[in-house]
Structure 1
């Protein structure tokens, strides 16, 4: 996998995370929310749909040949959000505050940056 392909997948992950977690802002606050928070309002089905949408970032990580340990960490964030989402009201607040997709995109970006820094440059 080339650095350009990995960068493209990381960019897609960031865009997806922004749509799911930070597409809209609440005026006069720093709070942002996205599609994940909106569909998470639906009991059970919304949380399952949010988890399924979050798997898009894990898919990009897998396609970028990210280490299995990173993929497990990404899945752990999704699982934690799914468990928190099972609690009424608390789950809705957790969707806005925890931002699993933003966290996962940041983890993927960090891995890609470390990978690029460790790769020797060709002259």
Structure 2
């Protein structure tokens, strides 16, 4: 039997903390966790700024941008499960598509990943929908 490392058990604990249900509050927690991972999970030393997996993957030519876009589409998929309006879904797809397209441009795309945070924009759209249609899911932001 394989020996569990500290890192593997930490990742397992973080994954098990996320709810798996289809209730709006569960979806909100998963989307917030994904947005945090993609947009602001890694602090830049010497600054107050943070980047996420989206910007880091953007440094890998072509393939990194594709993987980052697929991870961003997870947020859109969760929005679909919430039965959000089609117009909002199209806007969310446009955010991910623009982030992906601009990320394909060398150097400019890397700067754009730092400035244009499509996943944060999409999270804001989801939160607005949840606050309006599922007010019981509201949480206090600790930022």
Query: Which category of TM-score, normalised to the shorter sequence, fits these structures?
Result: 0.7 to 0.9
- Which of 25, 36, 59 is residue 54 of structure 2 equivalent to? 36
CA distance in 1, matches of 2:25, 2:104: 34
Q: Say if 2:71 is the partner of 1:53.
A: yes
Cross-structure match for 1:8 = 26
Name segments (4+ residues, structure 1) moved above 6 Å. none
Cross-structure match for 2:83 = 65
**Aligned-CA RMSD value:** 1.4
TM-score by length of structure 1 reads: 0.86
Q: Which runs of 5+ in 2 are unaligned?
A: 1-21, 136-143
State the Cα distance separating 1:39 from its structure 2 match: 1.1
CA distance in 2, matches of 1:100, 1:106: 10
Cross-structure match for 1:121 = none
Greater share of residues in helix: 1
Q: Matched residue of 2:134: which SS? A: helix
How many pairs does the alignment contain?
Answer: 114
Q: Which runs of 5+ in 1 are unaligned?
A: 118-123
